[in-house]
Structure formats: C-alpha cells, structure tokens
Amino acid sequence: MVINGFGFGRKLTVRVNPSLPLNASVQAGNLRIEGVHSRLAADVQAGNCKVHDFRAPINLSVAAGNVEAQGSLDSGTSSIRCEMGQVKVGLARESSVRISARTTMGKVAIEGDGIRKGSNEVTVGTGAGTLELECTMGNVKVSVG
C-alpha cells in the first residue's frame, strides 16, 4: 500500500493477521505496530518507530528518529538500528536472547535482575536468540523484566 501526499495529521490504521509476517516502510512519518507475533521488519527514514507486544524476531531500522520496542524474544536473529535518535527496548522476563548493543556517539545501558552494570553484551535466559542493537548518534537502553 502506498500513500502519497503531505496531509499533516493523517492517520492510517491497517489490521493484519498477527500470525503473518509484516514488512513496513515509512519515508516521513511515525510508525506504530502492535501485537504482531510473527517475523517483523520495519524501515523508517524520518520519524519514530514504536513496536509493542512482539513475540518473534524483529528487524527495525530508523534513519532519523527514535525506536521504542517492547515484547519477547526467544529464537532467531533480530536487529535494531538507528542512525540519529534514541533506542529503547523492553524485553519480557521470559525472553531467551543474547544481546549486543553499541553506539558510536552516546551511551549504552542494559538493565535487569542479575545484569552487570556497564555491560554491552548480555545473555538473558539460555540465549536461544540474538538481538543486535546499534545507534550511530544517540543512546541505547534495554530493560529486561
């Protein structure tokens, strides 16, 4: 689906089967995805990307804007990339994932029970999946639990 134009305040709601994979791309604007439980890929050029209640591998990319994601990971390979902005990820306690986070100009914080402060690489649960977080100019924060 392609929507052209510069209508400010326009909102589009699309409902999909939560068990089907989703690919979304936004050139200029915000993207909010809720309750997709299959593989998810999203690319936002200028705007914010918010994902809530994910339960399968995700691949998110934002050029200029913020990324906020909350959900659970227990398999597969996931990545979140942000050129300029903030990355905030909330992982459910039952997640099983190896987390690797880095930023070129900014701070990395991975928080949760039993996680050593200042770590850029952390294993949650048995580490069945992987999550790679990268932000060029901005901060990365991951909260587990």
pLDDT of residue 11: 79
Q: Report whether pLDDT(131) > 70.
A: yes
113 pairs with which residues across the strands? none
Q: Are 104 and 137 in contact (CB under 8 A)?
A: yes
Tens-digit pLDDT profile for residues 33-84? 999 999 999 999 999 999 999 999 999 999 999 999 999 999 999 999 999 9
pLDDT of residue 14: 86
- Between 91 and 6, the more confident residue is 91
pTM of the model: 0.89
* Burial environment of residue 17 by CB neighbours within 10 A (0 to 12, 13 to 18, 19 or more): exposed
Q: How many CA atoms lie within 13 A of 36 on its CB side?
A: 22
- Domain chopping of the chain, boundaries: 22-144
Q: Report whether pLDDT(6) > 60.
A: no
Phi, psi of 114 (to 5 degrees): 75, 10
Q: How many angstroms separate the CA atoms of 10 and 134, rounded?
A: 30
